[in-house]
Chain A
Amino acid sequence: MTEQTNVATMATPAVSKTRLPTQWLGVTPFFLFAVLFLVLPTMYLIIGAFQNSDGQFTLANIRQLFLDPSIRASYWVSIKISFWSAVLGALVGLAIALAIVRGGLPNWVRSATMTFSGVASNFAGVPLAFAFISTLGRLGLVTIILRDVFGLNLYTTGFNLLSSYGLILVYLYFQIPLMVVIITPALDGLRKEWGEAAATLGATPWQFWRMVLIPVLWPSFLGTVILLFANAFGAIATAYAFTGSSLNIVPILLYAQIRGDVLNDPHLGYALAFGMIFITGVANTFYIWFRTRSERWLK
């Protein structure tokens, strides 16, 4: 043992104060990669958002985000879609997670749900749009069954799949499973002893929920809602394959801007990208904050 330690000390010479910080060489490739392909490109856009075409500092581009009616509308639609898909996804996901963790369902139900959630939370993008068009589009299976069997023509009731509501319904297909994947471990962390302790002290099940479980779960729930929000906010492929460029959401507007400068102002395009980073950045800051709070009880 001592021999081994000696050899090891010889192999890694003692660090003296005057030595060059060669250990930084080991992480140089990583930081070079991150700076070149993640940090600098993002900074480029952020700086561009605060410059005019002559390179001078200005807040005009940011102000224009609020003044331009089509940009303002796109942010509003994006926020609405992301908000509702996050809130509904979180509530339904929580219900499913509660069912498999605390509902006393057989084991295969739980493992099937978890496996499927892992798959569905990664099944996004273009194919997801196709799946819902095949289901609820004008010729979709559900549309046809409702029409031929139940005599209900969806498309005369004002239903339109290719709308914000339709997109929320589609986004739920990956939002709900993502919630299940994230919140199930949190539910597993709820100790059985807490219920017993509450019962010993004479709490009713409702009181136990209101005063113990909900306060403990609240930070993870809220944190995950915010994560789902950011997840939906940055997504573009599903929406683009779904409606082409007819649905006015921020990523689709940005896509059109990158393709052909539809805003006729490159710096306004940078501001549009900055707005997206700002919103997802704020959302993630809150997510991290809530997660640290939830870990206090659930670890």
Chain B
Amino acid sequence: MRKGGAWWAWLTFAIGATYFLVPLIATLEFSMRQRNNPVFSLFGQGYSFGVFNNVFGDPRFQQTFTYSVLAAIFTILLGVLIVVPTAYWVRLRMPYLRPVIEFVTLLPLVIPAIVIVFGYIRMYGSNSMLPFLGTTGGTNVLLVIGYAVLSLPYMYRAVDTGLRTVDVPTLTEAAQILGAGWTTIIARVILPNVLIAVLSGAFLTFAIVIGEFTMASLLNRPAFGPYMQNLGANRAYEPAALAIIAFALTWGCMAMIQFLSRYAPRSANRPN
């Protein structure tokens, strides 16, 4: 290996970079094409940022985006509520259950989202035992539940990795000596210790939920994903602007995860 890199490595990198960067550049260019009131022009084509104003100013954008942000927040809360106590308890008392739990959390990667939501629609209709789909509020709850299922593999893995760096039995004993109950232990001892892991899982969940299309569309909820799809079918330049916004959002979430990982503890002070 020569210093500075082999030629084939640079060539591979250059080809890869071209394939990945050209669509981003093209999308940005497309979104800025504007016949009216161009701010500047290149090669005879006028450009402006006007379309971003159109997108951000569209009340439908604001409503659906807010809806999806709220859905993401509730999904994260539900995910934390289910995953943190379970992962903690399994590590403390039932380590033999770990393979089972891991298998279950990986199932959402095996069963496509469209199949899961199909099952919901058939099982939780207004005439069923649990008529989630009978009311708007119930449908919203079911959507959040569905999103929590989709994010289960990522959330569980993040929290479980975080717990690996925590001396769970000692912390539990110490808290119990001081008279803490299970809720206090989980909320005030365990959760702060795995907060960085939880936040990484949360940002990944956010990235998945914010533009999710399949579940929201089939449950007829006014979320950001179906809005984007609808706009794509009816407008020319706005979809490109939305793609740029969505890419920036994904980038932001991943950047947060990388940033947080710098503060994550590497190992437990004492082995579990």
Binding site for B on A (CB under 8 A): 4, 7-8, 11-12, 23, 26-27, 29-31, 33-34, 36-42, 44-45, 48, 92, 95-96, 98-100, 102-106, 109, 113, 115-116, 118-120, 122-123, 125-135, 139-142, 172-173, 176-177, 230, 233-234, 236-237, 240-241, 244, 251, 254-255, 258-259, 269, 273, 276-277, 280-281, 284
Contacts and interface: CB of A to CB of B under 8 A. Distances in A.
A104 B90 contact: no
B27 A280 contact: no
Interface in B97-150: 97, 101, 104, 106-123, 130, 145-146, 148-149
Contact of A126 (B10, B173, B177, B225): B225
A-B interface, 6 closest residue pairs, ranked by CB to CB distance from nearest: A103-B9, A41-B119, A234-B112, A134-B30, A141-B26, A26-B89
Contacts of A173: 19-20, 23
25 contacts: A4-B177, A8-B173, A11-B177, A12-B176, A33-B145, A34-B104, A38-B111, A98-B12, A103-B8, A105-B9, A126-B211, A126-B225, A126-B229, A127-B242, A130-B27, A130-B243, A133-B240, A173-B20, A176-B19, A176-B20, A237-B211, A244-B233, A258-B117, A258-B218, A280-B110
Chain A's interface: helix, strand, loop or mixed, by majority? Answer: helix
B23 A135 contact: yes
Interface string B9-34: 11011001001101111110111000
B52 to A, nearest CB: 14
Contact of A26 (B2, B24, B94, B239): B94
Contact of B113 (A103, A135, A234): A234
B169 to A, nearest CB: 8
A284 B120 CA distance: 23
Nearest to B31: A134
A172 B6 CA distance: 25
B203 to A, nearest CB: 10
Given A34-B104, A103-B9, A241-B229, A26 B93 contact: yes
Given A7-B173, A41-B119, 12 more contacts: A29-B86, A37-B149, A96-B13, A99-B10, A103-B1, A123-B250, A131-B23, A176-B19, A236-B214, A237-B213, A277-B112, A284-B110
A141 to B, nearest CB: 4
B173 A127 contact: no
A281 B94 contact: no
A276 B12 contact: no
Which of B110, B116, B149 is packed against the most chain A CB atoms within 10 Å? B110
A233 B136 CA distance: 31
B192 interface: no
Contact of B207 (A122, A141, A255): A122
Contacts of A280: 110-112
